[in-house]
Structure formats: C-alpha cells, structure tokens
C-alpha cells in the first residue's frame, strides 16, 4: 500500500465500493481498498501488473461513479483533467502525490473550490481528499486532443508540446528507404511513422507504444492502411514476421528515475525482431551508454549523426546467436 494512502485509511479516510484507482504503479499496493476495485492505467506494463493480480483494468479514463483514488501524474494539465473527470463520479476523490509532481500547488488550487480533508504529509508528498457532490472542475477538463505542429497530442504523453527535437534529428539521418517492413518502437503519438509513410516503398510499419493515450493520438495522426497500431511493451513485443528496419527514440526514465536499461532492452529486442540483413536506427541523449548493448547484439555499429545533445546511431548485422 502507498504509505500515504495507508496512513489516510488508518486515520479517518472512509471509502466505499466500487473504487476506481487512477494511475497506480507497481509500487502501490491497493489490496486494502474495498472491492470491487477498478484500475485505470494506460501504461501497458503497469496495466499488466494489476491485471495479473485480478483487478478489473481499463486503459482509458471513464468514471462509472463512486469513490476515486488518484495517484498524481507529472503533467499539470493531465492532473487537472483527471481531477475533473474523477469529480464526475459523485463520491470521494482522493489525491496522492509527491511534492516533485506538484501536489502542493494542486492542493492550493483545489482548496479554492471545495472543502478539503486531510491533508497528510509523508515521504516527500501529500494525500488529501474531498467530496465531489457536484463537479466544480469542469473548466479543467480536456475534452479533445490538442493540435500541435499539425499533430494531435494529449496531456501527459511524451513531447506533448510539439515535435521532439531528437526524433526530428533521427528522421533527418534516415535513408530514403529504410526498409519495406518497419517497426517504430516507442512510437509515441506517431511523428516518425507519419513521416516514414510518406516514402512510397514502405509496405508496412508497426507503431509499438506502451502508452495507450499516445497510441490513440497516433491513430489520429497516422491515417494510413499500412500502419499497424500495437499497444505493447517494446521491450518484449515481437512482430508476426521479421522486419527490415527498426527506428526508435527509446525512453530512459521510469518515473523520475533515469534508467538506461530501458533503452538497452529496446536494443536487444530490436535485434531479435530484425531480419538477418535488417537495420536499426536510433537516437539517444549523448551521455547514455547504449554502445555496449549495440555491440553485444549487432555486428556493425556506427554513429551517423547528432549534435551536442543527441547522437544518432545505426546498427546492422543483428546477432543470430541472440535471436
């Protein structure tokens, strides 16, 4: 159980089933909440974690009514949108968040609109709750994807404020025809794939993305019959047939913690899904240690572009021993 949530339940917070839990992570034990508990989690690895525990899970935010426990996301716009949606349920809305994710400022804003109970401070964060007898947060709702640089994006997705400069750098370094069958690992809201599909020799491209919200945006941005939209963890997803090319701008954070192992796992899985003559193109922050993983899984590795912040890497001859 989240330490703050556990303290709240022990010191006066009363919740009634059904309870909807928004954005829990594997660090959160929600087993003490009154059943049935419904989990809203668009991130596929976390979704799978709670589904394996027997919880009813959904990737999209829909509140059927009743009490809500919300774990605060990093995006302020997303947090406000989720508060507005949670308040439509008519029950108790509980918000648990770290100071680094803006829980203090959100608490101040909410206090201006409704009476707040708690709050409880613990472990560099706060938990508080209020009764949503009427929704006083309608103006916080984000009703439709935002259009930025001609693309649909949504609060909380990676690069929600526009085209990511690293992805743009990768695109500029790609050959005109990377391959007939391609996979875009960690496709986000679809920038790279949308541009690759403008090249006529592309026959099929898999957009593999763990964030269901980003994938829905990609479906808006990539209106092409050659695209296949896959909600999956790019570290272990495999295509139905080997691909000729993999492109990727892998994430390197789990929450706020830097974890280069995520990108290294992307590299390993790229080698497994590529045809023997396939190629990998990736972009990464210059300080990230991906070269060793690339040399482990590929016979040829070279830097083909970049700037002071990013490096574009090309790898060929995936190791058959690793397939």
Helix (H) or strand (E) segment spanning residue 71: strand 66-71
Task: Read off the pLDDT band of 256 (50, 70, 90).
Answer: low
Contact 204, 233 (CB under 8 A): no
Per-residue DSSP letters for 40-66? E--BHHHHHHHHHTT-EEESS----SE
Say how many Å lie between the first and final Cα of the chain, rounded: 39
Q: Is the pLDDT of residue 323 over 50?
A: no
Q: Is the pLDDT of residue 183 over 80?
A: yes
Tell me whether the omega of the peptide bond preceding residue 18 falls within 30 degrees of 0, making it cis.
Answer: yes
CA distances from 111 to 108, 119, 138, 276 (A): 5, 11, 15, 60
Strand partners of residue 19: 37, 67
Q: Both tokens of residue 202?
A: 């592309």
CA angle 233, 235, 239 (to 5 degrees): 80
**pLDDT tens column, 265-315:** 999 999 999 999 999 999 999 998 899 999 999 999 999 998 999 999 999
| pLDDT of res. 98 | 93
Cα dihedral 140, 73, 58, 55 sign: negative
Question: What letters, b where the CB count within 10 A reaches 16 and e where it falls short, cover 105-122?
Answer: ebbebbeeebebebbbeb
Mean pLDDT over 143-162 rounds to 88
Mean pLDDT over 177-183 rounds to 94
| pLDDT of res. 322 | 45
């Amino acid at each position: 159980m989240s330490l703050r949530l556990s303290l709240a339940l022990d010191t006066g917070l009363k919740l009634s089933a059904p309870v909807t839990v928004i954005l829990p992570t594997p660090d959160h034990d929600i087993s003490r909440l009154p059943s049935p508990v419904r989990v809203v989690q668009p991130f596929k690895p976390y979704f799978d974690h709670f589904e394996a525990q027997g919880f009813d899970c959904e990737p999209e935010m829909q509140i059927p009514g009743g009490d809500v426990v919300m774990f605060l996301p990093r995006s302020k716009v997303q947090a406000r949108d989720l508060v507005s949606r949670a308040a439509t349920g008519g029950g108790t809305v509980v918000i648990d968040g770290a100071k680094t994710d803006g829980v203090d400022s959100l608490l101040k804003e909410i206090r201006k609109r409704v009476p707040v109970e708690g709050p409880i401070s613990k472990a560099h964060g706060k938990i508080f709750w209020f009764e949503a007898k009427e929704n006083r947060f309608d103006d916080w709702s984000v009703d439709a994807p935002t259009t930025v640089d001609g693309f649909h994006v949504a609060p909380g997705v990676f690069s929600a404020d526009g085209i990511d400069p690293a992805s743009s750098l990768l695109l500029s370094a790609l050959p005109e025809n990377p391959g007939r069958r391609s996979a875009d690992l960690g496709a986000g809201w679809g920038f790279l794939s949308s541009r690759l599909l403008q090249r006529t020799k592309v026959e099929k491209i898999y957009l593999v993305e763990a964030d269901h919200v980003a994938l829905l945006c990609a479906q808006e941005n990539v209106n092409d019959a050659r695209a296949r939209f896959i909600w999956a963890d790019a570290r272990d997803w495999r295509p139905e047939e080997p691909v000729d090319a993999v492109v990727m701008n892998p994430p390197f954070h789990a929450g706020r913690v830097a974890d280069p192992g995520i990108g290294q796992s992307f590299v390993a899985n790229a080698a497994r899904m590529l045809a023997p003559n396939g190629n990998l193109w990736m972009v990464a922050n210059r300080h990230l240690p991906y070269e060793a993983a690339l040399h482990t899984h590929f016979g040829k590795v070279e830097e083909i572009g970049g700037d002071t912040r990013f490096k574009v890497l090309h790898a060929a001859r995936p190791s058959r021993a690793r397939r």
